[in-house]
Chain A
Amino acid sequence: MANIPLKVVHQYLRHDKKFPHVWCAGCSNGIVLGAVIRAIAAMNLNRDDVVMVSGIGCSSRMPVYVDLNTMHTLHGRAIAYATGVKMYKPNMKVIVITGDGDCTAIGGNHLIHAARRNLDLSVILVNNNIYGMTGGQCSPTTPHQALATTAPYGNIEPEFDICKLAMGAGATHVARTTAFHVAEMQKHFQAALEHPGFSLIEIIAACPVIYGRLNKKGGAPQMMKEFRDNSIPLTAVEKLPPEQVEGKIIRGTLRQEIRPEYTQAYADLLDRVQKMGDE
C-alpha cells in the first residue's frame, strides 16, 4: 500500500485486504459506502469507537471493506448482534448496514423491537427491491406486479413501506433518500449518527444487473435517472396535488423526535438499583 491517494474514502478502506469488492457494475452499494465513510469523517469520529454490523446480502458485505470495528453476521440478525454490542459499550457508535430482505423479511422482528426500545443504533437500509445475492427473488419491498425469479408471473403481494413500518414501531429518527442523492444521503447519515435513539435511513438503491434486467429498467444510468425524476422532497409534497405525489419516492426526514433512549434508560436503572443497595 504505497501511495494512497488523499481522498477521504481511501483513508477508511482496508486497502491490503479483500479488494476487489463483490458488487456488480452499477450497484448502489458503493455509493452508500462512500457516503457512510464521508459522514464518519465529517463528524470526525474516532474510528476505534465505531462498530459496523451487517447481516447477509449484497449490502451486508459492506463492513469488510472499511477500517472500523466490523461484524458480518447472520441473515436478518444484524440488529440483534448490534444490540449486544451497544448495550455492553453504550459509548460506541453502532452502525447497522442491512438490506430490504435482511431487515424487513427475516429480520423484521429485530427491527421493530429495536425501534420500540429506541436503542441508539443507526440503521442504514439499502433497499434494492430484490434479493440480489441469491439471484433475484422477490423481497417484501418488491413492487406489486414486478418480476422476480420467484415471482415469474408478477409479484402478487403488496409491498412494505419500510419508513412507515419503522415509525409505527417507534423509531425516533426516520429518513429516506435515493442512491442518486448522494449529498443528501451523507447529511442523513450524519443526522442519524448524531441522533440519540433509534434511527433508520432507507436508501432506495439500484440493482441494475438483477432487478433492473428482470424488470426492463434499462441500465444503471436509467435507474439513477428514474430516482432523480421520480422522487420528490418531503418539503414539496404539501404543495403538490395528490395525483402528482402518487407513486413517487418521497425523500426527506420523515420523523425526528426525542424519546428516552434505551441505553440511557438502562444506565438510569443501574443508578437507581445501586442507590437502593447503598441505603
Chain B
Amino acid sequence: MSKTETQTKKSTKKTAAEKPAKAVSKKTQPESKIAELQHGRERKTVIMQGNEAVSYGALDAGVDFFAGYPITPSTEIAEILAEELPKRGGVFIQMEDEIASICAITGASLAGAKSLTATSGPGFSLMQEGIGYAKITETPCVVVNVQRLGPSTGMPTSPAQGDIMQSRWGSHGDSPAIVLYPDSVKECYELSIRAVNLSEKYRTCVVLLLDEVLGHMRESVTLPDMGNVRVIKRIKPTVPPHWYKHYDENQKYLSPLASFGEGYRFHVTGLTHDQHGFPTNKNSEAGDMMSRLRKKISYNIRDLVQIESYMMDDADIAIFAAGIVARSAKAAIAMARYEGIKVGLLRPLTIWPFPDVAVRKMLLNVSTVIVPELNQGQLVNEIRRLTKDKNESDIVRLQKVNGELISPAEILQKIKEVI
C-alpha cells in the first residue's frame, strides 16, 4: 500500500468514524473519471482542464474538507469536489459566502482536516481577512484563486494577472505569503499537491494562483501512479498536553500542530499571542510572533522557491513571465531562436516569496529583460527592484489588460524591438 493510500484511509476513518459508514472500498468500479483515478491508480495520461487538475491534485494530496461558494471561473473545482469528497468520506459544504468559506476551512483544519477552498477575484477579496487569520494562527489551508480581469466584477471569463500583488499583500498587517503559480494543466495538478503539502509543513495559508485560461483550458496530462505522489502531513505533537506549545519556537520554525479533540485543549486567537497561543500585549512577545511568521518563510526559502529557467544559458535577452503568459513566451522564444536571436525565459513557479536570489543571478548576464504580464505592471516592479544595475530602458514592459492573452507574436515583436 502506498503512502498516499494510507493517508487517505486514515483521513476517511477520521470523519467516517463519527458514524458507522464504511470506508469506500478500493476495488469498486467507479463511474467518474476522478474516482477511477483515485482508486489504486496507475500512471496514466488523460485530457482535462486546469480546474479539474487542481481538484485531482487536492484529492491526491489528501484534502478531505472543502468549503466554498460558486464563482466563475473557479466553480468546477467546487463541483468536482462536491461529487468526489463524499465518496471518500470527506466533507463538502457550500457556504453562504466566501468569508464563511475561508472561516470554515480554517475551523476544519484546526479540527484536523486538510482543507481547501477555491474562488476568484471578488471572492478572493472577501477572503483576505480570513487568510490573515489563518496566517496569524498558523493554521494550514489552501486557497485557489482563479484570476479574472478587472477590479470589482470585471470580466469573469477573461484572463488577467491582476492578483499577483493582492495574493502577497491583500490581507492587512504585514505578513509573509506562499503563493504558487502554474503554467500548464500538468502543473495545476502538481502545484495543487505542493500547495497542500506546503500548507501542512509551514502551517500557513497557501495560495494557488491560476489564470482563467488555465482553469478552463484542456490539455493532456500524465498523472503519476499513487505510489509516486509525495504527500506531506503536519507534524503531530508527541509531548504530554501540559508541555504542548501551540507555537513552539524550537524546531526550525516548523512546529507540531495538535487538533481539537486530541486532549491538548489549546487556544487560538487572531490577537497577537505568546507561544501558547494566549493573547499578549507585551511588545517583546508581539515582536517575537511577527518575526516568527517571517522567519518561518525566509529561513526556508530554498525549500519554497521553484523557478524554471528555459534556454537561458546563452541568452542575451530574458523574458520574465508567470503562468499562462510564459506559454506565449515559450512560443515566441522558439520563433526568435529560429531567427537566431538568443532569448530565454525565467518563470517563477513559486511567485511569493519572490525568488530574489535566483532571479538576480540569472539576470546578471542578460542585456535586456522583457516582462510581459496581464496587468498594468506588477511583476515588472519586482524585476526593477532586483536589477538596480540595469538602465530603466533595459527593463521592457509588455502589458495587456483588455481580457485577451498576450500572443507569441506580440512578444516576438517586443524581442525584435529591443535587439
Give the B-binding residues of A (Cβ under 8 A). Answer: 14, 17-18, 47-49, 51, 53, 56, 63-64, 67-74, 77, 80-85, 87-92, 109-110, 113, 263, 266-267, 269-271, 273-274, 277-278
A9 and B410 CA atoms in complex are apart in Å by 71
A-chain residues with CB within 8 Å of residue B111 when the two chains form the complex:
51, 84-85, 88-89, 92
Max count, chain A CB within 10 A of own CB: residue among B65, B109, B270: B270
Contact B89 A270 (CB under 8 A): yes
B-chain residues with CB within 8 Å of residue A82 when the two chains form the complex:
107
A-chain residues with CB within 8 Å of residue B278 when the two chains form the complex:
17-18, 64
B-chain residues with CB within 8 Å of residue A269 when the two chains form the complex:
86
The contact sample of 30 A-B pairs, CB cut-off 8 A, is A14-B267, A17-B276, A17-B278, A71-B107, A71-B110, A73-B133, A77-B99, A80-B95, A81-B107, A83-B67, A83-B103, A83-B107, A84-B107, A84-B110, A84-B111, A84-B113, A85-B107, A87-B67, A88-B15, A88-B91, A89-B18, A89-B261, A91-B18, A92-B111, A266-B93, A270-B21, A271-B19, A274-B87, A277-B24, A278-B25
Contact A266 B266 (CB under 8 A): no
A-chain residues with CB within 8 Å of residue B267 when the two chains form the complex:
14, 63-64, 70-72
Q: Which of A56, A87, A271 contacts B108 (CB 8 A)?
A: A87
A-chain residues with CB within 8 Å of residue B104 when the two chains form the complex:
80-81, 83-84, 87
Which residue on chain B has the smallest CB distance to residue A47? B265
Contact B279 A77 (CB under 8 A): no
The minimal Cβ–Cβ distance linking B188 to chain A, given in whole angstroms, is 25
For the complex, count residues of B whose C-beta is within 8 A of A: 54
Contact B270 A80 (CB under 8 A): no
The minimal Cβ–Cβ distance linking A97 to chain B, given in whole angstroms, is 13
Q: Does B269 contact A (CB under 8 A)?
A: yes
The minimal Cβ–Cβ distance linking A116 to chain B, given in whole angstroms, is 9
A181 and B83 CA atoms in complex are apart in Å by 48
Q: Which of B15, B96, B265 contacts A68 (CB 8 A)?
A: B265
Q: Does B268 contact A (CB under 8 A)?
A: yes
B-chain residues with CB within 8 Å of residue A85 when the two chains form the complex:
107-108, 110-111, 260
Q: Which of A72, A74, A90 contacts B103 (CB 8 A)?
A: A74
Which residue on chain A has the smallest CB distance to residue B280? A18
Contact B96 A110 (CB under 8 A): yes
The minimal Cβ–Cβ distance linking A198 to chain B, given in whole angstroms, is 14
- Number of A-B residue pairs with CB-CB distance less than 8 Å in the complex they form: 158
A85 and B22 CA atoms in complex are apart in Å by 22
Contact A83 B93 (CB under 8 A): yes
A81 and B35 CA atoms in complex are apart in Å by 29
Give the residues from 26 to 41 in chain B that come closer than 8 angstroms, CB to CB, to chain A.
28, 30, 35
Contact A80 B103 (CB under 8 A): yes
B-chain residues with CB within 8 Å of residue A48 when the two chains form the complex:
261-263, 265
A73 and B271 CA atoms in complex are apart in Å by 9
8 further interface pairs, Cβ-Cβ under 8 Å (given A84-B103, A110-B96): A48-B265, A51-B261, A72-B269, A80-B104, A83-B103, A84-B65, A88-B112, A270-B19
A17-B278, A64-B278 given as contacts; is B21 within 8 A of A84 (CB)? Answer: no
A-chain residues with CB within 8 Å of residue B270 when the two chains form the complex:
56, 72-74
Which residue on chain B has the smallest CB distance to residue A82? B107
B-chain residues with CB within 8 Å of residue A73 when the two chains form the complex:
103, 107, 133, 268, 270
Give the residues from 81 to 130 in chain B that come closer than 8 angstroms, CB to CB, to chain A.
86-87, 89, 91, 93, 95-97, 99-100, 103-113, 115, 129-130
A74-B130, A80-B103 given as contacts; is B279 within 8 A of A88 (CB)? Answer: no
The minimal Cβ–Cβ distance linking A37 to chain B, given in whole angstroms, is 14
A110 and B98 CA atoms in complex are apart in Å by 11
Q: Does B71 contact A (CB under 8 A)?
A: no
A77 and B95 CA atoms in complex are apart in Å by 12
Contact A92 B260 (CB under 8 A): yes
A-chain residues with CB within 8 Å of residue B19 when the two chains form the complex:
90, 267, 270-271
A-chain residues with CB within 8 Å of residue B301 when the two chains form the complex:
none
Which residue on chain B has the smallest CB distance to residue A83? B104
Q: Which of A69, A84, A87, A263 contacts B261 (CB 8 A)?
A: A69
A17-B278, A88-B112, A269-B86 given as contacts; is B107 within 8 A of A64 (CB)? Answer: no
B120-144 to A contact mask, C-beta < 8 Å, 1/0: 0000000001100100000000000
Contact A83 B112 (CB under 8 A): no
Contact A113 B16 (CB under 8 A): no
Contact B95 A69 (CB under 8 A): no
The minimal Cβ–Cβ distance linking B314 to chain A, given in whole angstroms, is 52
Q: Which of B24, B260, B265, B268 contacts A274 (CB 8 A)?
A: B24
Contact B21 A271 (CB under 8 A): yes
A-chain residues with CB within 8 Å of residue B65 when the two chains form the complex:
84, 87-88
Which residue on chain B has the smallest CB distance to residue A264? B19
Which residue on chain A has the smallest CB distance to residue B19? A267
Contact B96 A84 (CB under 8 A): no
B-chain residues with CB within 8 Å of residue A64 when the two chains form the complex:
267, 269, 278-279
A246 and B302 CA atoms in complex are apart in Å by 69
A71 and B111 CA atoms in complex are apart in Å by 11
Which residue on chain A has the smallest CB distance to residue B132? A74
Q: Which of B87, B89, B113, B129 contacts A74 (CB 8 A)?
A: B129
5 interchain residue pairs of minimum CB distance: A84-B107, A80-B103, A84-B104, A84-B108, A81-B107
A77-B130, A84-B103 given as contacts; is B108 within 8 A of A109 (CB)? Answer: no
A-chain residues with CB within 8 Å of residue B30 when the two chains form the complex:
277
Contact A72 B271 (CB under 8 A): yes
